[in-house]
Amino acid sequence: MCDTFVVVRPDAVLFGKNSDRDANEAQRLDWVAAAEHADGATLRCTWTTIPQVRRTHALLLSRPYWMWGAEMGANEHGVVIGNEAVFTHARHERQGGLLGMDLLRLGLERGATAEEAASVISELVAKHGQGGRAGYDDPSFHYHNSFLVADGREAFVVETAGREHVRERVTAGVRAISNGLTIEPFAEEHADPIVGAVAGCAVRRARVTKLAEEALGPADVAAVLRDHGPGHDDPSYHPLNGAMRAPCMHAGGLVASSQTVASWISQLSPGSALHFATGTAAPCLSAFKPVALDRPLDLGAPTGVADATSAWWRFEALHRRAIGDPAAAAKLRRARDAWEGWDARDPIEAWRDWGAFVAEQRLALGPRRDLRPGYVRRYWAARARDAAAAVPKLPAWS
């Protein structure tokens, strides 16, 4: 469950994405070098193997730790992509098939423009189909995908249902995708409206579109990704699906439950690309830090089990301590706002300073309070037990 949007303006293209997945499903920032490959080489993706191409581009990815593919990322040519789960009546591949996250990474590896990357995704969907386990907590969770592909000039929406696909070009204004098909008549033919309604996709997409109309730069994009809905500084929960009706998603529902586990912002123009990532859950409390394809960072190797060294889990301890206490959350947001900047800070220095900030804020918080509804507290107690297990539910991709 995610939200992704672009704002295409004459001077720049703004891109923003929240990656909403299971609460303990840590996401890694990975730097992948450009590479040359031999004729006839093959490529192992998450659940299937496909033919490799001669050259692949350099990438920066934000990926669930157990997948080959990624939820969002950028390549050396200034192309960025975000994907969304969509729920359709089309079948999933019984053998193999590509995950949407695999398709996203393949688009970045093989496309030097948004149009090329969109074509790569469409062609691979038609050839290999979509399939394989896509959920962390639920082994039976499967879905199809939509994609928002952008560069410094334009963007493309690619929506899929099994091996079928449709594409829309975006040359001006705001375009948002969530967890439902939007391009007609493709959507009318293939969408599963019941699951889409539970996911709250139409409500979130409308909210994101409205807020993004005023976005002029990365700070405005961050405000959209941090939104909890009209009149709410803190998450507003519902027993059915937790806090899934707003862009900044918080887990805790009895039927559906997803958490924003990583977020990304890009500002693109021809010949220039600036990228910012949280590298953590909960953008409402976390900060966006600069990242660059030519400045690899060592942020640890998080999995689904808590650790004391990775950037993702070090902040997660702070997030889980503050999120149920409105006073503590407000205090953390104020400190974050004073720390966060959108200037051209060196990524290595910014992330080092962020680590110190997180440590200071953990010491500064008072006794923990959790004022969330009981069903939310029970959900998170179960996630805490899972995070303390000896091994994660799925092994790390290697």
Q: Is 45 considered catalytic here?
A: no
- Cα angle: 291, vertex 359, 378; to 5 degrees: 95
Identify whether the C-beta of residue 126 lies closer than 8 Å to the C-beta of residue 159.
no
d(CA 326, CA 385) in angstroms, rounded, equals 24
3-state secondary structure of 115: helix
Identify whether the C-beta of residue 331 lies closer than 8 Å to the C-beta of residue 298.
no
Altogether, the residues listed in the chain come to a count of 398
Q: Return the bridge partners of 223, or none.
A: none
Which tokens is 249 given? 């998603």
d(CA 390, CA 222) in angstroms, rounded, equals 35
Tell me the three-class secondary structure of 181-239, residue by residue: CCCCCHHHHHECHHHHHHHCHHHHHHHHHHHHCCCCCHHHHHHHHCCCCCCCCCCCCEC
Which residues are known to be catalytic?
Answer: 2
